[in-house]
């Protein structure tokens, strides 16, 4: 601003001198305070003692004119850049709510998993590579789907941690916890504003929703989740979701967003629980009592049964051996009691286990008993964890499938199990003596679909064992 007379100029100079003296006193005070405190508390925010710009104060002022609003304003000196960046990163880390998961990185993830099964290893390796790619360039969505302990939460946290290291804003939250936090904002003594939390969740650069589907599906919860997911879907904001439930059980509006292949990469992890010491066997499997039922001990019954029956039995044996060597799709063994179907199913399982691959052999009756037992107050296993293990086991041999006299609950659980394995194309062997009419339309459409099932009807009569030679 121009000045009209010498008095004004003089006044300006005097004011500048006063300001200069004030800044010097401020610098001396800051310097003195910093020196005292640095000996005892090492106060953060001090500059480099050798810095020519701030002389160790840590702040610099602008060269603005005295009448400029910027005059006298202090700014952090460039010598503090690393400290400030570290402080910002720490603040982002704190607000991300990762907590202990901040140690989960790609470097300490084991892409080979806890398995020797090629299909499982491949699924985990692909999820690892895709997650790394997403973290490098966070665009679109990733849905990590798999059973308990398969590594999906570790990968989700690794994505979050890498994005944090790249300076991006991240929120990692367990889905049930998120809904609990939102509900708690309505409490009379809450210090957190609902709108602020809700908007942050909707608009954060990267949102990681862990364990979607584990929440209590109330109408309010479903609506809040939909609003969050729909907003991020429409805005195409980077989002990572982990899930261990069948997507068919997810609220339809949310599910429609998760299956949009233009935005979402769905990664199915078939690997077993990392935390199991022995991934090849499970407590649910009754295979040990069928250990003698192998292909080597199976009787061909040549000359004992009519040729047509023998031909069908031979086809079933060939199909079972082929499946055991390369388990893809489903193998359905249909026949009466004692025809050899359970022996062949057990032979498949024993062959896989002998070759270092996991197999879960269980009768449908035992399966339902195990599930019911989880509702006991004394049960050490949660129903959802038990059910997830059955649904996602790499190879399931379900012996003696029957719906006769089954309760509606039992029918529904069996249908959910079979539906999940049908959709995910997980290798499955099923034996049954049920007629088509006993299976029902839904189950029949899954089991008898030639696109996925190798169907082997066995018409041989009951095997009564070898006749002893008379002496």
> Which position has the higher pLDDT, 397 or 9?
397
Assess whether pLDDT exceeds 50 at residue 75. yes
pLDDT at 267: 94
Please say if the pLDDT value at position 163 is more than 90: yes
Cα separation of 102 and 93, whole Å?
8
Chain position carrying tokens 């990185």: 105
Confidence band for 91, pLDDT divided at 50, 70 and 90:
low
Q: What is the pLDDT of residues 19-63, one digit of tens each?
A: 444 444 444 443 333 333 333 333 344 677 778 878 777 778 777
pTM (2 d.p.): 0.52
Closest CA to 97 of 172, 150, 24: 172
Q: Do the beta carbons of residue 306 and residue 461 sit within 8 Å?
A: no
The full set of domains in the chain, from first to last, is 7-81 (no CATH), 99-276 (3.40.50.300), 287-458 (3.40.50.300)
Percent of the chain, pLDDT > 90?
A: 38
Q: How far apart are CA 169 and CA 226, in angstroms?
A: 22
Sign of the torsion formed by the C-alpha atoms of 310, 340, 416 and 145: negative
Point out the least confidently predicted range of 191-200, 203-212, 410-419: 191-200
Supply the DSSP symbol for 66: T
More confidently predicted of 431 and 147: 431
Quote the pLDDT of residue 356.
Answer: 78
Residue 349, token pair as written in the block: 């399982």
Measured CA distances, 169 to 11, 163, 238, 413 (Å) = 49, 8, 11, 41
Instruction: List, for residues 203-239, the tens digit of each pLDDT value.
Output: 999 999 998 987 777 888 889 999 999 999 999 999 9
pLDDT at residue 467, as a whole number: 52
Strand partners, 334: 432, 457
How many whole angstroms separate alpha carbon 327 and alpha carbon 400?
A: 20
* DSSP 8-state secondary structure symbol assigned to residue 470: P
Sign of CA dihedral 409, 414, 417, 423: negative
Which token pair is 184? Answer: 């708690």
Pick from 22-31, 136-145, 186-195: least confident: 22-31
More confident residue, 191 or 344: 344
| Cα distance between residue 277 and residue 273, in whole Å | 9
Q: What is the pLDDT averaged over residues 246-259?
A: 88
């Amino acid at each position: 601003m121009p000045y009209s007379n010498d008095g004004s100029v003089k006044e300006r100079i005097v004011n500048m001198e006063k300001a200069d003296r004030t800044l010097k006193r401020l610098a001396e005070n800051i310097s003195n305070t910093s020196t005292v405190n640095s000996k005892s508390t090492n106060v953060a925010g001090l500059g480099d003692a050798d810095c020519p710009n701030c002389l160790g104060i840590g702040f610099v002022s602008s060269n603005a004119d005295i009448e400029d609003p910027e005059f006298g304003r202090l700014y952090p000196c460039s010598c503090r850049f690393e400290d400030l960046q570290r402080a910002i990163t720490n603040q982002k880390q704190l607000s991300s709510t990762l907590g202990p998961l901040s140690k989960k990185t790609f470097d300490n993830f084991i892409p080979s998993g806890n398995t020797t099964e090629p299909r499982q290893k491949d699924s985990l390796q692909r999820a690892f590579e895709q997650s790394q790619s997403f973290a490098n360039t966070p665009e679109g969505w990733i849905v990590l789907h798999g059973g308990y302990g398969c590594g999906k939460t570790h990968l989700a946290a690794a994505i979050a941690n890498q994005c944090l290291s790249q300076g991006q804003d991240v929120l990692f939250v367990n889905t049930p916890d998120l809904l609990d936090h939102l509900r708690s904002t309505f409490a009379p003594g809450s210090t957190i504003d609902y709108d602020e939390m809700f908007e942050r969740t909707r608009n954060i650069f990267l949102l990681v929703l862990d364990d979607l589907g584990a929440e209590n599906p109330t109408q309010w919860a479903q609506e809040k989740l939909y609003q969050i997911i729909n907003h991020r879907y429409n805005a195409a904001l980077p989002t990572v979701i982990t899930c261990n439930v069948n997507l068919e059980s997810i609220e339809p509006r949310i599910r429609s967003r998760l299956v949009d292949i233009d935005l979402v990469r769905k990664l199915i992890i078939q690997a077993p629980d990392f935390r199991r010491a022995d991934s090849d066997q499970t407590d649910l499997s009754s295979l040990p009592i069928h250990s003698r039922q192998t292909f080597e001990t199976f009787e061909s019954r040549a000359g004992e049964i009519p040729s047509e029956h023998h031909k069908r039995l031979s086809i079933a044996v060939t199909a079972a051996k082929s499946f055991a060597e390369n388990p893809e799709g489903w193998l359905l063994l249909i026949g009466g009691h004692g025809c050899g179907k359970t022996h062949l199913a057990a032979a498949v399982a024993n062959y896989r286990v002998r070759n270092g691959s996991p197999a879960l052999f269980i009768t449908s009756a035992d399966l339902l008993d195990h599930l019911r037992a989880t509702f006991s107050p004394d049960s050490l296993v949660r129903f959802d964890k038990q059910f997830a293990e059955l649904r996602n086991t790499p190879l399931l041999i379900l012996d003696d499938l029957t719906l006769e006299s089954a309760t509606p609950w039992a029918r529904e659980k069996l249908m959910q199990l079979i539906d999940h394995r049908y959709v995910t194309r997980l290798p499955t062997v099923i034996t049954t003596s049920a007629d088509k009419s006993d299976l029902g339309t839904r189950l029949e459409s899954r089991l008898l679909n030639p696109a996925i099932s190798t169907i082997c009807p066995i018409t041989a009569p009951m095997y009564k064992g070898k006749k002893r030679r008379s002496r």
